[in-house]
Structure 1
Amino acid sequence: MLSKYSRRQWLTLIVFAIADFCSAVCVSLQAPFYPMMAESKGATPTEYGFVFGIFELTVFIVCPIYGTYLNKIGPKFMFNAGIFTTATTCILFGFLDRINDTRAFVGFSFVIRIVEAMGNSGFLTASFSIIAKEFPENVGATFASLETCFGLGLIVGPTMGGALFELGGFTLPFITLGGMLLGAASLTYCILPAHSPDAKGESEANGSMISLVRIPSVALVTYAIIAASASIGFVQATLEPHLRPLELSPFQLGLMFVLNGATYSLFAPLWGWLCDKHVNPRAVVILGGLVTTAAFIILGPAPFLPIPNTLPLCIFALVLHGTGFGAELVATFTSAHKDAVANGFPDDIGTYGLVAGLWTSAFALGAFVGPSVAGILFDWCGFAWATVFVVVLHLVVAVSFALHMCISRPANSSVFAKTHESLAQHDAEKSLLLGGRGGDESGFHSSGSSSFEVSVSSEIRPLIA
């Protein structure tokens, strides 16, 4: 697979990997020390906790807007503007310690995080869309590989942030890592291929986020993304008090938070490869839902399991969790894009933008809801009973996707096969007409998917639930 990539595809992949890693580092670096700084300024846990939550809430709100107008704005401009915004706001965040008034400190924290979330949303939405356009035959594997880089950034961010904070105080981590992202932004500006709007100029005209979610299979995918993201937020909000009776050192506790993210990064490329070449993405989602369900039954441990909470049990559960939600997240992106095209959406950058915006927005909603519900349930009934909430969420994911696969008509696969055969034949004829030149050297990689017109999709529409 890798040997077939063109020079432009390799450059795009490398630039995206660097940008994903640096962006994740900047977004996550303040977790170990910002609460302490906020308390020293007089802020309450509720106030500085919502500073973290407002980031995901902003992503949830603006991503559908970005996805709808991506073709009109231009994916390269949105990508570069998003990275520059994220880098600049990261650096500005480092100067908040100069503010001594509590209200001003909290207020500027909110403003900077909101603007940072807007930049991060543009970067993510555009990157997902460019992946689908530039790597049409390997969307899942490419997406998964870049998610590995993003996951590694989320792991490295708090670690580097804490180390730099000990070395030079509050400002140093943000200037250093924000500057690193600024360098990555400059690299993407120079290397990322230019892209003109699709010839027919479809953006918001050919569909909307609402019409996309009205497709039953896409609605199921949206729910699965929210459930997977909520499980991550649940762990982030309640794992520390759950592990407190085990009397772990700060270093050991930090390693516990790395386990599920590291496992996700390790297995994400495998899920992408399976979804692209070997397995129905919906089957991968079912497996992910069942594995995540098992993880939280063990992590509780569930009230109906008469076993004590031990460190090896928690480690095993967190590894299972990283494996399960990784399968869900990677497979849902691939599945949503295929289902959208099969149900009448044109295979163009406008549809890629809608799917990317939906995925990012749904993930952000889960990331906002997960820790909020986790805190309430933890106070009300304790950790073991609170995990039942996540168990039920993911059982619903597995059962609903299994039922959908059972009631979907088996003719779907043959229709897709015939469609792809006709597209391959069309590409071969086009190559002969162009004197053997199989690709366009300007803009994005040319593929048969660009000729997947609405008329073809309309023929498939009746066969998709």
Structure 2
Amino acid sequence: MICLSVMIPFFPTEAAQKDPHPNSVEGLSAIGFVFSITAFMQFLTALVIGKILPHSGPKIIIILGGMLISGSIALFGFVNRIDDWPQFLGICYALRAVQGVGTAFELTASFALLFGIFPASISLVSGLFHGFNGLGFAIGPALSGSIYDQHGFLLPFIIYGGIMAASTAAVMVLLPGDIEIEADRKSKDIFMAALKLPVSALWLATALVAGAAGGLLEPGISPYLRDEFGISPSHVGLIYLLHSGVFIITAPLTGYIGDRYVKPKHLVIIGSFLHGGALVLLGPVKTAGVLSPALWRSTLSMAIVGGGLGVTQTCLVPGMLNALYKAGFTDSVELHGTAAGMITGFFSLGIGIGPLVGSALTGAVGFPDAAAMFALVLIANGFAFIAFSVYECIRAFVRKSGSCNTNADTPSETTPLIRDNQDSTGV
């Protein structure tokens, strides 16, 4: 994640300088798609990687992902030397697509591996996993913005590509090569079956919405903060550091609570409302005319966005697995990998849609109003989970009442025909 976030503080501004029609809707959308294409490739790759894992094992998938990411990140540092606008965009799209494939390899294989090792603490593992991802997003923009201010465009990508290559080499040496994932024949139709389940469709939609709202910030927040408040890329990176820092704290805490006290489907309601409410205040909404833009308020909103996203993202895979368990799927590592791949895929699809739609809306109505539109979708998603929870409570109550009446009047196949004295007296 540290490699994917390297370009957030400065790339939109650098790309706009090469655009023959800067600040146009077409130009902003083209720059937004540089961020989106990575997520789209993650979506396409993650949906099939769960089927490959049982045959290849997680280690080779993680290593291949690291190699793809490190090579494409390092090469991306040279794109600013291309002056022709169409060629510049084409090379950016190609390299970011490769990064998306590599990221899907790493995330899905890592999820399946960790869930297989720690099956009793899936929510906590999910929280810690997302927390370290958030740490990458925190370090990435903060350091890359500072390096860019001091040394220019190339060096941040070379440094981060080298870090990724070194971590891949460490995986090759330290991760055992005999880790296997057994295929489960019953889970081969998980994807299509899950799409037919209303509850799992709700979780996939939540992943899509949360990803889109998160992806909105990648191309939009840096130009907005710099134009509105005149701050430097390094300062933008520090605001992202706060945003990701809150995410880092929130994600594992949510995982701990989700494993012990509160169900993921209830926690995701809190996350959706926090995320949506913070986006409304991020600008704030200029058309409302209630609040004037303030750097402190935007900074605080970014922190709350990190907390809301941390709660929601941590709940996605555990919630999806719970839905599949209730639908009758057997617990297996391949089930974990497939569920993680589906959630990662739809979350990535959302991250791809977010910059694309967000850039178009920003060009049309401005970033604050664009953020408010995404906020409405998040809040609506929270109400959808409230409605589903109420529906489940009503259904459980009806079933319980019906089963009680049936047991009282009609003996089942397992009911003893002759009760002993203790039963007959009720003692």
Normalising by structure 1, we get a TM-score of: 0.75
Contact kept? 1:72, 1:203, Cα under 8 Å: no
* Deviating more after overlay: 273-282 vs 36-45: 36-45
Give the C-alpha shift of residue 228 in structure 1.
1.4
Contact kept? 2:12, 2:223, Cα under 8 Å: no
> Are the structure 2 counterparts of residues 93 and 320 from structure 1 closer, same or farther at C-alpha, using a change threshold of 3 Å?
closer
1:66 aligns to what?
A: 49
* Deviating more after overlay: 41-50 vs 365-374: 41-50
Letter in 2 for 1:28: S
2:317 aligns to what?
A: 333
Give the C-alpha shift of residue 163 in structure 1.
3.9
* Deviating more after overlay: 374-383 vs 49-58: 374-383
Q: 1:282 aligns with which of 254, 262, 265?
A: 265
Contact kept? 1:68, 1:204, Cα under 8 Å: no
Letter in 1 for 2:109: A
CA distance in 2, matches of 1:263, 1:311: 18
* Deviating more after overlay: 337-346 vs 300-309: 300-309
Alignment of 1:121 with 2:104, yes or no, is yes
CA distance in 2, matches of 1:268, 1:315: 20
Letter in 1 for 2:317: F
Alignment of 1:147 with 2:124, yes or no, is no
CA distance in 1, matches of 2:184, 2:106: 21
> Are the structure 2 counterparts of residues 292 and 168 from structure 1 closer, same or farther at C-alpha, using a change threshold of 3 Å?
closer
> Are the structure 2 counterparts of residues 328 and 253 from structure 1 closer, same or farther at C-alpha, using a change threshold of 3 Å?
same
CA distance in 2, matches of 1:246, 1:43: 23
2:242 aligns to what?
A: 259
CA distance in 2, matches of 1:245, 1:404: 42
Alignment of 1:395 with 2:379, yes or no, is yes
Contact kept? 2:274, 2:305, Cα under 8 Å: yes
2:2 aligns to what?
A: 25
2:413 aligns to what?
A: none
Higher relative contact order (CA 8 A, sep 6+): 2
CA distance in 1, matches of 2:235, 2:149: 18
> Are the structure 2 counterparts of residues 182 and 43 from structure 1 closer, same or farther at C-alpha, using a change threshold of 3 Å?
farther
* Deviating more after overlay: 371-380 vs 296-305: 296-305
1:181 aligns to what?
A: 164
Q: CA RMSD of the aligned region, Å?
A: 2.9
CA distance in 2, matches of 1:169, 1:309: 30
Contact kept? 1:296, 1:387, Cα under 8 Å: yes
Contact kept? 2:270, 2:311, Cα under 8 Å: yes
> Are the structure 2 counterparts of residues 203 and 111 from structure 1 closer, same or farther at C-alpha, using a change threshold of 3 Å?
farther
CA distance in 1, matches of 2:303, 2:148: 29
Give the C-alpha shift of residue 176 in structure 1.
2.5
State the Cα deviation string for residues 366-406 of structure 1 (Å, max 9, x = none). Answer: 11222222233333334454334223212222111112222
> Are the structure 2 counterparts of residues 328 and 164 from structure 1 closer, same or farther at C-alpha, using a change threshold of 3 Å?
same
1:416 aligns to what?
A: none
1:315 aligns to what?
A: 299
- Unaligned 5+ segments in structure 1 are 1-23, 413-465
Letter in 1 for 2:363: D
2:192 aligns to what?
A: 210
> Are the structure 2 counterparts of residues 398 and 202 from structure 1 closer, same or farther at C-alpha, using a change threshold of 3 Å?
same
CA distance in 2, matches of 1:238, 1:42: 16
Contact kept? 2:36, 2:353, Cα under 8 Å: no
2:423 aligns to what?
A: none
Give the C-alpha shift of residue 293 in structure 1.
2.6
> Are the structure 2 counterparts of residues 299 and 76 from structure 1 closer, same or farther at C-alpha, using a change threshold of 3 Å?
same
Contact kept? 2:130, 2:310, Cα under 8 Å: no
> Are the structure 2 counterparts of residues 276 and 43 from structure 1 closer, same or farther at C-alpha, using a change threshold of 3 Å?
farther
> Are the structure 2 counterparts of residues 381 and 29 from structure 1 closer, same or farther at C-alpha, using a change threshold of 3 Å?
closer
2:220 aligns to what?
A: 238
SS in 2 for 1:26: coil
> Are the structure 2 counterparts of residues 378 and 356 from structure 1 closer, same or farther at C-alpha, using a change threshold of 3 Å?
same
Q: 1:225 aligns with which of 207, 210, 214?
A: 207
Alignment of 1:293-312 (within 5 A): 293-302=276-285, 303=287, 306-312=290-296
SS in 2 for 1:184: helix
CA distance in 2, matches of 1:136, 1:334: 11
Alignment of 1:134 with 2:117, yes or no, is yes
Give the C-alpha shift of residue 264 in structure 1.
1.0
Q: Whose Rg is larger?
A: 2
Letter in 1 for 2:273: L
> Are the structure 2 counterparts of residues 160 and 293 from structure 1 closer, same or farther at C-alpha, using a change threshold of 3 Å?
closer
Give the C-alpha shift of residue 305 in structure 1.
7.0
Give the C-alpha shift of residue 312 in structure 1.
2.9
Give the C-alpha shift of residue 351 in structure 1.
1.0
Give the C-alpha shift of residue 26 in structure 1.
1.7
Identity %: 26
CA distance in 2, matches of 1:35, 1:396: 30
Q: 2:40 aligns with which of 51, 57, 73?
A: 57
CA distance in 2, matches of 1:393, 1:110: 28
State the Cα deviation string for residues 195-237 of structure 1 (Å, max 9, x = none). Answer: 2231xx3268632322223222211111111221222222334
Q: 1:359 aligns with which of 324, 339, 343?
A: 343
> Are the structure 2 counterparts of residues 96 and 298 from structure 1 closer, same or farther at C-alpha, using a change threshold of 3 Å?
closer
CA distance in 2, matches of 1:229, 1:344: 28
Give the C-alpha shift of residue 39 in structure 1.
6.1
CA distance in 2, matches of 1:163, 1:63: 33
> Are the structure 2 counterparts of residues 106 and 297 from structure 1 closer, same or farther at C-alpha, using a change threshold of 3 Å?
closer
1:21 aligns to what?
A: none
CA distance in 2, matches of 1:241, 1:97: 18
CA distance in 2, matches of 1:379, 1:94: 27
SS in 2 for 1:307: coil
Contact kept? 1:204, 1:350, Cα under 8 Å: no
Contact kept? 1:295, 1:318, Cα under 8 Å: yes
Letter in 2 for 1:318: M
SS in 1 for 2:292: coil
Normalising by structure 2, we get a TM-score of: 0.81
- Unaligned 5+ segments in structure 2 are 22-26, 397-427
Letter in 2 for 1:189: M
Give the C-alpha shift of residue 174 in structure 1.
2.7
CA distance in 1, matches of 2:231, 2:364: 27
